[in-house]
Amino acid sequence: MDKIQILKELVNTFGISGFEGPIREKIKELFPQVDFKEDEVGNLSATIGSGGRQIAFMAHMDELGFLINYVEKNGYLRFKPIGGWDVRGVYNRVVEILTERGMVYGVIGLKPPHLSKKEEMDKLISWDDLYIDVGVESDEEVKRMNIIPVLPVRLKKDFVILDEKYVVTRALDDRVGCALNLLLLENFLHNPPQNTVTLIWTIQEETGLRGAQAFSARNSFDEVYTLDTVSAGNLPWGNFYQSPACTGGGPVIRLADRKGVSSLRLRNFVKEVARENKIKVQEIVTGGTTDAAAAFEAGLNSIPLCIPVKYTHSQVEMMSIEDYHNTLKLLLLISRN
């Protein structure tokens, strides 16, 4: 399985928080021979191997998006953000609206500078200023397009490789974790691990770790590793201290974030595995949180292992391909150690 191609497939598959159906089906479609389990809330899992330690690798399927909440009489659509968006990054963009009859395109428009007064140009844009234009003139035309309130929306994506070193796209957070789980699955099907490994794809991480909370409350493991991203701080404005992870610097042990400190036992184990196998790792304290917090709160030893990404939660999330390869290598070693 080509590592970049599988990542691209997952990135391009629809699946905002709460509407993970398409990405869940894509994961199952890629491995029809695997007996996936889907729980009551929509988390997906597959268990490989038997005996040894009970290990879980957990990645979230959902991405940031929007929900339509109102249709104006003139056909413009109002919407609400789902997840931690920066409003500055969403206007003047093409969007995809998922309807029962397929994808419909629109744009999040903004009043052009030619028609704006100075005070309008200086104003900080708010969510209430934004709307989606689908190219019609009335709410009746909108209905005929099968667009109604509560439909999910996402920004249209690009997928770019920079100098054969970096992937740039929307939703590396956390389709890269989903891809790592699939690459582990492929490896285990050919070479089963000595331990019992459960691969988990969760829902609604971006809206409160909801899938991980449900899954962790009903299942028990010796070790839980959440596969996610972390904001890289190697940026030109010099606030590296806020998240001292660097793209190209290797997988990141996200020891502590705003939800607390992760398992020190797992941290020491991961660092020893990395040291013995000469894999460069980074260890940081940062903000935000991951599904590891939900697992920890359920009484499970857990820790996030992350890939550093520039420009998190934007259209141009940027990841080192070398970090991607080295993270997979580290996870395979953890599973077989």
Q: What is the pLDDT of residue 293?
A: 95
Buried b (16+ CB within 10 A) or exposed e, 180-215: bbbbbbebbeeeebebbbbbbbbbbbbbebbbbbbb
Question: What mean pLDDT, rounded, does the chain reach?
Answer: 95
Q: What is the pLDDT of residue 117?
A: 76
CATH of 65-155, one of 3.30.565.60, 2.40.30.40, 3.60.15.10, 3.40.120.10: 2.40.30.40
Buried b (16+ CB within 10 A) or exposed e, 272-300: ebbeeeebebbbbebebbbbbbbbbbbeb
**Interatomic CA distance for residues 81 and 90, integer angstroms:** 10
Tokens of 299: 């009484």
Q: What is the pLDDT of residue 111?
A: 77
Q: What is the pLDDT of residue 276?
A: 97
**Interatomic CA distance for residues 200 and 330, integer angstroms:** 18
For residues 43 and 120, is the Cβ–Cβ distance under 8 A?
A: no
**Interatomic CA distance for residues 278 and 262, integer angstroms:** 23
Ranges under pLDDT 70 in the chain: 120
Q: What is the pLDDT of residue 156?
A: 96
**Interatomic CA distance for residues 51 and 108, integer angstroms:** 53
**In sequence order, what E strands does 25-174 have?**
37-38, 44-48, 54-60, 65-71, 77-82, 93-99, 102-108, 132-133, 152-155, 159-162, 166-169
**Interatomic CA distance for residues 65 and 244, integer angstroms:** 28
DSSP3 helix / strand / coil % (the chain, rounded to 5): 30, 30, 40
Burial category of 156 from C-beta neighbours within 10 Å (exposed 0-12, middle 13-18, buried 19 and up): middle
Q: Cα–chain-centroid distance for residue 100?
A: 24
3-63+170-336: CATH number: 3.40.630.10
Q: What is the pLDDT of residue 114?
A: 79
Q: Where in the chain is the domain with CATH 3.40.630.10?
A: 3-63+170-336
Q: Which residues lie closer than 8 Å to 158 by C-beta, 6 or more apart?
A: 168, 169, 170, 315
Burial category of 271 from C-beta neighbours within 10 Å (exposed 0-12, middle 13-18, buried 19 and up): middle
Q: Where in the chain is the domain with CATH 2.40.30.40?
A: 65-155
What is the value of pTM for the model shown? Answer: 0.95
Tokens of 136: 């019609």
**Interatomic CA distance for residues 230 and 243, integer angstroms:** 8
**Interatomic CA distance for residues 51 and 121, integer angstroms:** 63
Tokens of 258: 């705003």
